[in-house]
Amino acid sequence: MIQLLRIEWLKIRSYKTFWILLGAFVLLFPVTYYFSASKYMETINTRTQESTMINSILGAPFVFPKVWHSAAWFGGLFFLLLGMLFILLITNEVQYRTHRQNIIDGWSRTDFILAKSSVMVCFILISTLLVFLSGLIVGLVFTPSSSSASLFEGIKYVWYFALMATEYLVLAFLVAILIKRTGLAIIIYFTTVCIIDNLLWILLTLKDSQLGYFVLLEPTDSLVPNPFKPSMLERRKASDTSLLLTALAYIGAFGYIILSSFRRSDLKT
């Protein structure tokens, strides 16, 4: 696996788009998060009646322990950049026909999928670490010294983020392997993530149904809900565990389709 990752590194280390998109995520997410926190805390600290009310409804999203939740959610907002990058890294191989050449040169079909999976794992590790560090720094800066909250209470949201990142990337992987063409794959991915997924959620949560929480990316999205949405508006009754297991089932199913379709198919462009 390490050897496969090393070869992937040889491929992407001089690829400009890789650095631009990765750099955009690594810079934009923490900076936006920090400035949002800073602006919010500034408003709260004016201590007007209105701001105190807002803060009590939202439950101090940039202060321990809720800071982990908001960090994970902000990370999710920017994560599509990595999803898009991952699609590019796969469809590029088809466009350059290097997916054929890698096999001709001696990789098995499974090696190819494992190599890309190793890149995926790196993306998950990097982004999760960034969520952790951003949450930690924002929490340390903005939590009042009088707070008695423990530092790592609510850290489960960082793990939920890792799961969300995994499901988003495995879906990107699936779309790239099945669609092959860069432009079309990115359009289909964004349409699925931003439109189809939400439409299904709306349709399947009508009349207080809980089914919508189990559709496509909703299990992981629902594990990290919008921290600025007052908890009294939350209609989810499905447990975290049930969503977690559903997300794992999706990841497993997508992974199976990716591997079996790539192993069976003719490698054409």
Partner 1 sequence: MSILSVISISKNYGPIKALHDVSFEVPKGSVFGILGPNGSGKTTLLGIITDVLKASSGNYLWLGKPGSHEQRKQIGTLLETPNFYPYLSGTDNLAVAAAIKGRGANDTDRVLEMVNLFQRRKSRFNTYSLGMKQRLAIASTLLGDPDILVFDEPTNGLDPAGIAEIRQLIKELNRQGKTIIMASHILDEVEKVCTHVAIIQKGVLKTVGTVEQVLSSTHDENLQVINIASNDLTKLGAIVREMPGISAVQITDGAIELTTDSTIDPAEINRYCFEKGVVLNSLSLKRKSLETSFLEITGKKSDR
Packing angle between helix 80-95 and helix 109-142, nearest 10 degrees?
160
What the block records as the tokens of 249 is: 């089932």
161, 76 in Cβ contact below 8 A?
yes
Distance CA 135, CA 175 (A): 31
Cβ 10 to partner 1 shortest distance, Å = 5
DSSP state of 154: T
DSSP state of 226: -
Cβ 15 to partner 1 shortest distance, Å = 6
Distance CA 75, CA 29 (A): 6
Cβ 168 to partner 1 shortest distance, Å = 26
Question: C-alpha dihedral over 198, 202, 208, 210, to 10 degrees?
Answer: -30
Cβ 13 to partner 1 shortest distance, Å = 9
Using alpha carbons only, give the angle 81, 71, 230 rounded to the nearest 5 degrees.
Answer: 110
Cβ 102 to partner 1 shortest distance, Å = 6
Quick one: 111 or 197, whose CB is closer to partner 1? 111
Quick one: 13 or 207, whose CB is closer to partner 1? 13
Q: What backbone torsions phi and psi does residue 236 show, to the nearest 5 degrees?
A: -70, 130
Cβ 110 to partner 1 shortest distance, Å = 9
Task: Outline where 45-79 has alpha helix (H).
Answer: 49-58, 67-78
Q: For 208, how many CA atoms within 13 A lie in the half-sphere containing its CB?
A: 1
Cβ 136 to partner 1 shortest distance, Å = 36
Quick one: 237 or 264, whose CB is closer to partner 1? 264
Quick one: 19 or 190, whose CB is closer to partner 1? 19
Quick one: 48 or 108, whose CB is closer to partner 1? 108
Cβ 6 to partner 1 shortest distance, Å = 7
Q: For 184, how many CA atoms within 13 A lie in the half-sphere containing its CB?
A: 8
Quick one: 70 or 92, whose CB is closer to partner 1? 92
Task: Outline where the chain has alpha helix (H).
Answer: 2-12, 16-44, 49-58, 67-78, 80-95, 98-104, 109-142, 156-179, 182-190, 197-204, 218-223, 240-264
Q: Contact residues for partner 1 (CB under 8 A)?
A: 3, 6-7, 10-11, 14-16, 96-98, 100-109, 111, 264-268
Quick one: 105 or 208, whose CB is closer to partner 1? 105
Quick one: 211 or 267, whose CB is closer to partner 1? 267
